[in-house]
A and B are shown apart, each in its own frame.
Chain A
Amino acid sequence: MKLIGIELYKLRRKHLFPMIAIFLAVEIAWAFIVTGRLTARNSEIAGWESIIAMISSMNGLFFPVLSAVCASRICDMEHKGNTRKMLFALSVKPIKLYAAKYACTSLVLFIAALLQVLAITVFGIACNFERSVPLLLLFRFFTGTVITNMIVTVFQQWISMAVRNQAFALTSGMVGGFIGVVADLFPQHIRRVFIWSYYTGLSPVSQLYMDENVRFFVRDTGSLMPVIMVLIAAGIGIYLAGSIHLSKQEV
């Protein structure tokens, strides 16, 4: 806990939260404009499902990049100041430092996902959607986003810590974002391999094009459970590999 507090303390003048707010504002504004236009053309599809599906698909692009940016900023300060040497000399265990940085990045992204849910709720109320706020649907959307964020962050943190040149971490974030956008075009067995595809993969709402019109369907929770288990297991595997690799790396 103390190390997590220190990591957050290091971020106090990094302007990370305003940057995330701007980033989210652009994404949410874009999603709201597109959804507004879509529902104006076809009032049958207006509802909570359409905005959740739209934000989920846009998260596929935005969150991998946001995760890369956050992980890079949190890890790069140790590279820039050569402070890992100093921290290890002060008996900070590499595994604990790695865990604290991971917790800190995950917390920041958790807040970002929470802000998104709030924005969706406000948008839905402002648009006078027929049904009341679907708390369960929003909770499932939030959980899916947070789980995927945590897995993507595991991967990003490993790269940001292992490679000093942050251009590679940012590039992998961008490539991940791109895969997140186009993943729905891949066959399912290929899509499952890419961790970035789960922003839409774990979304409670799926969209299909039928008769040149887009239709939204609410997914069954039970069908996603095995996928979530495998994803979490993969995340733990990547985390342990990264943590062990970094703890054995010469500083």
Chain B
Amino acid sequence: MIYMFKRCISAEWMKLRHSRVWIILAVLSLISVFIGFANFRMNSEVLTKGWYSLWSQVGLFYGEFFLPVLIAILCAYVWRLEHLNKNWNMIMTAPVPAACIFAAKLTVVVFLLFFVQAFLVILYLVSGILAGLGFLLPVEFSGWILRGWVASVAIASIQLLLSMRIRSFAAPVGIGLCAVFIGLGMYVARLGMYFPHSLLTTGMGVLSQTGLSSGENLLFTAMCLFYMTACSITAIYLMHRSDVVA
């Protein structure tokens, strides 16, 4: 099983080899950090809390708008190839379990999102140093990044499920954007812990930079795990039960 899973991951990497998807990952992160940084510089008289103020700008643009859409695009892309050229028939007749196929796609997306978060860290540090904020980072910073990544995995599971079922490339991305606004509404209604897109807002400290308590951290992790498991199980079940449309 593990051997087959490894083979599936290596197949997914091969599919992404000449996709230039890294350009999208880099460009979206760069734009959000650049605009957040520019906004921070232009309003430096009001934004006086140093690294926290910079994060409030960078995190807002990145975590609230760009990252969820980036995840949606990435997930739609990893399924796109299967929707082309009758590849569904090929992938479903391959001698690997359906669970391995889905898990391999999720793993690849999770890896790429890890690099995106790492790239964000670099960009945030560089922009902070350029703004003359020194080297004393907020203590909550590692938590924002780590929780952002965990919430991204939950969103990725949902987007992978949507992109698997919807043959169109654009439709799941559009749904993802609508979900951003629903998530924002849920956060405002203090239900941020129960919707994946508002989990990202909460986890990354996008709108409030105060850290989470240990109870909140536990609930956050449990909800992310719940969404990830539920979506993965549903996707694998659907791959087993419903006929493919090639």
Contacts and interface: CB of A to CB of B under 8 A. Distances in A.
Contacts of B73: 167, 170-171, 174
Interface string B1-32: 00000000000000000011100100110011
A23 interface: yes
Chain B contact surface mostly: helix
B162 to A, nearest CB: 12
A69 B19 contact: no
Top 4 A-B pairs ranked by shortest CB distance?
A69-B170, A72-B170, A166-B169, A26-B178
Contact of A182 (B35, B66, B69, B168): B35
Contacts of A185: 39, 42
A76 B27 CA distance: 23
A226 to B, nearest CB: 28
Contacts of A62: 177
Contacts, number: 86
B144 to A, nearest CB: 21
Given A167-B24, A171-B24, A76 B174 contact: no
Nearest to B20: A165
Given A165-B19, A175-B31, A73 B168 contact: yes
Nearest to B166: A15
Interface in B174-204: 174-175, 177-178, 181-182, 184-185
Interface string B129-171: 0000000000000000000000000000000000000001111
A111 B153 CA distance: 36
Given A26-B182, A178-B65, A170 B170 contact: yes
B115 interface: no
A69 to B, nearest CB: 4
A46 interface: no
